[in-house]
Each structure stands twice: as structure tokens, then as C-alpha cells.
């Protein structure tokens, strides 16, 4: 990044912005299909769709410039995303609404800042710490204020699982910044897809074939959307953008995810928040805003070690 002009980061920033919008829409898409196929079938189905596309471009991605010892970074990288993340999020959406799950994602930039402090020994300013606790407090309030509805049968369990999923995002962001200095961003995305396809295969394959005869065209298109535009597209675009954009700026784009999640949950699924949850949502977003005006942290460029 050193010496790159603002113009040099415009398109990487656009790619991260596009990824955030696609992620925001994925909550409603996942919610609409989880009840039909179940989490394991959905996860494996979207991975297979993305894997089929990766095979078309395999020659351009191979051979990988693998360096001895990189497995220590690659294994947790693919373990966090997609394996643990999708496992937690898919099950979270069985118990909570897509809007609530999306709002919890607003805590990601602040948790990234905190993770960078402990892992990368970066200095965290007071505004970031205050914003973190305010935002996480809002997440707790959002969860406790949740009422069992048709869209959110057990918001306490669902939101707790979603918060766990967001914690895996922190590990992913910190690792992808390191790995993107060594590998093509689309090669990293291919690693994630291959790992996810294998990870979800044992439980996903039999469940998908069991429910395949009753799958409608619309439901099939949702799986294609999740595989092409979210699993491959969003992660690929984010991996590409973060190669050129500092991690703290890249994670800040995640702030758009809850806004898009609530919007799509409302327009496509008819979801809504009660008054207490609306107030809690303001706490979450206020925490994010305070962390930004407080200066946050500077994530130093990660060079090869």
C-alpha cells in the first residue's frame, strides 16, 4: 500500500463495497432456504455451485506459489472461513431472523480492531474501546429483547451462534491480509471453496439428495445465488480488495452489511424489529460510529515473515 494513490485503491474499495452488499443480501437468502433444505444441504449445495465455477478457471490459478510452513496460516484461514463461519451462521438462522443476524455483523470492525491489538500488537484508541463495548452491549440487548416469532423461534440461541460466527470473521480478516501478500486473491478464494466442499460433503450430500426432488426452481436459484454471487463472488471480491486496502478500512465496509440485511429482511421476508430491538440496533450502530470518529487503529501492512 505504501505510495499507492487514492485512485489506486478506488476499485479495490468498490470490490469490498460490492462484497458487503452481497453479504447483506445473503442473510435473507439463507433464511428463505434453510427451512426447506436444512443447514448442511444448503452449505454443501452452495459450495458445489462455486466449486464448479472454480474448476473452469483452475488452470489460471495453478500452480500455487506455496511456501514451506504456509499451511500454518492456510488451515486456520479455511477453517474460519468457510467451515466454522458457515456452520455457525447457518444454524443461527434456524433460530433468529435475518435482520437480527445482520445487525450483529456490525460488531465485526470493532472486534477486528481488538483482535489486531492482541494479535498484531497494534495500539487501540479509547474511542475504539468505547465503541466496541457500546456495540457489543447493543448486541446483547438486541438478543435479550428478542421475542419468539415465526422468523425467530429462539433469538437467544440464534444470536449467540451468530456472534460466534462473527468471531470467526475476525480470524479470517487478520489471516487473509497476511496471505494476500503471497497468493492471488482468487486462489485464496478457491482454497476456501475446496475446503468448504470437502468439509460439508459428509453431512450435506445425503441431505441435499434427500430433499432434491421437492426443490422448486426458485429455491434452486437461491442456491445458485449463494454459490455464485456470495460464496465465490463476495469472498473473491473481498480477498481481492483487502490486498490493496488496509484491514481497518476494509473491515469498516462491513458496517453496510447490517443495513442491507435489515433492508432485504424487511422487503423480501417481511421481518421487523420490536421497539426495544430498534433501540438496541441504534446502540450497535452508535458504537460503530464512535469507533470511527475516535480514530480507531492503524493496521500496519503485513509483510512476509
The 10s digit of each residue's pLDDT in 120-171 is: 666 667 776 777 677 777 767 766 676 666 666 788 888 899 989 988 988 8
Has residue 201 got a pLDDT over 80? yes
Please tell me the distance from the alpha carbon of residue 201 to that of residue 220, in angstroms, as a whole number.
18
Range of the domain at 216: 12-58+70-293
Asked whether residue 88 is assigned to any structural domain, the reply reads: yes
Distances (CA, A) of 238 to 55, 57, 269: 20, 18, 27
Q: How confident is the model at residue 57 (pLDDT cuts 50, 70, 90)?
A: confident
Nearest Cα to Cα of residue 186 among 133, 239, 134:
239
In a domain, 1, yes or no: no
Q: Distance between CA atoms of 226 and 48, rounded to whole angstroms? A: 11
Confidence of residue 248 (pLDDT cuts 50, 70, 90): low
How many domains in the chain?
A: 1
Burial readout 144-173 (b: 16 or more C-beta within 10 A, e: otherwise)? ebbeeeebbeebebbbbbbbbbbbbbbbbb
Position 228 pLDDT exceeds 90: yes
**Per-residue pLDDT at 254 exceeds 90:** no
Q: Is residue 236 part of a domain?
A: yes
Pairwise CA distance, residues 94 & 153, whole Å: 8
Q: Name the band, by pLDDT with cuts 50, 70 and 90, for residue 255.
A: low
In a domain, 3, yes or no: no
Alpha carbon distance 302, 98 (integer Å): 34
Question: Is residue 202 pLDDT above 60, yes or no?
Answer: yes
Q: Which residue has the higher pLDDT, 203 or 240?
A: 203
Of the listed ranges 2-16, 100-114, 227-241, the least confidently predicted one is 2-16
Is there a domain that residue 302 lies in?
Answer: no
Question: pLDDT (tens digit, 9 = 90+) per residue, 267-290?
Answer: 888 877 777 877 877 877 777 677
Instruction: Name which residue leads in pLDDT, 207 or 59.
Output: 207
Domain assignment present for residue 303? The answer is no
Residue with the three cell numbers 500496519: 300
CA distances from 271 to 69, 148, 192, 205, 226 (A): 47, 13, 31, 31, 20
Please check whether residue 265 is in contact with residue 31, taking contact to mean a CB–CB distance below 8 angstroms: yes
In a domain, 298, yes or no: no
**Of residues 185 and 115, which shows the higher confidence score?**
185
Q: Residue 303: its pLDDT value, please?
A: 33
Does 300 reside within a domain? no
Confidence of residue 297 (pLDDT cuts 50, 70, 90): very low
Amino acid at each position: 500500500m505504501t505510495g499507492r494513490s487514492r485512485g489506486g485503491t478506488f476499485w479495490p474499495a468498490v470490490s469490498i463495497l460490492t462484497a458487503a452488499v452481497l453479504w447483506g443480501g445473503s442473510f435473507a437468502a439463507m433464511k428463505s432456504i434453510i427451512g426447506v433444505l436444512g443447514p448442511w444441504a444448503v452449505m454443501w449445495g452452495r459450495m458445489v455451485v462455486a466449486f464448479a465455477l472454480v474448476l473452469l478457471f483452475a488452470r489460471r490459478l495453478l500452480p500455487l506459489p506455496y511456501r514451506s510452513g504456509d499451511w500454518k496460516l492456510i488451515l486456520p484461514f479455511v477453517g474460519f472461513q468457510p467451515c466454522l463461519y458457515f456452520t455457525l451462521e447457518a444454524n443461527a438462522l434456524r433460530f433468529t431472523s435475518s435482520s437480527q443476524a445482520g445487525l450483529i455483523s456490525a460488531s465485526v470492525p470493532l472486534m477486528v480492531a481488538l483482535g489486531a491489538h492482541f494479535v498484531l500488537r497494534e495500539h487501540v484508541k479509547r474511542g475504539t474501546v468505547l465503541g466496541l463495548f457500546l456495540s457489543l452491549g447493543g448486541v446483547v440487548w438486541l438478543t435479550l429483547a428478542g421475542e419468539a416469532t415465526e422468523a425467530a423461534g429462539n433469538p437467544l440461541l440464534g444470536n449467540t451462534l451468530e456472534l460466534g460466527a462473527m468471531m470467526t470473521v475476525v480470524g479470517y480478516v487478520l489471516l487473509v491480509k497476511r496471505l494476500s501478500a503471497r497468493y492471488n486473491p482468487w486462489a485464496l478464494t478457491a482454497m476456501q471453496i475446496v475446503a468448504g466442499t470437502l468439509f460439508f460433503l459428509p453431512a450435506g450430500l445425503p441431505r441435499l439428495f434427500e430433499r432434491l426432488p421437492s426443490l422448486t426452481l426458485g429455491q434452486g436459484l437461491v442456491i445458485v445465488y449463494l454459490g455464485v454471487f456470495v460464496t465465490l463472488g463476495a469472498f473473491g471480491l473481498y480477498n481481492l480488495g483487502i490486498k490493496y486496502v488496509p484491514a481497518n478500512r476494509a473491515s469498516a465496509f462491513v458496517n453496510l452489511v447490517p443495513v442491507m440485511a435489515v433492508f432485504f429482511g424487511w422487503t423480501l421476508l417481511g421481518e421487523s424489529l420490536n421497539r426495544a430491538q430498534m433501540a438496541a440496533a441504534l446502540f450497535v450502530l452508535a458504537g460503530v460510529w464512535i469507533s470511527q470518529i475516535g480514530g480507531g487503529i492503524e493496521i500496519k501492512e503485513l509483510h512476509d515473515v
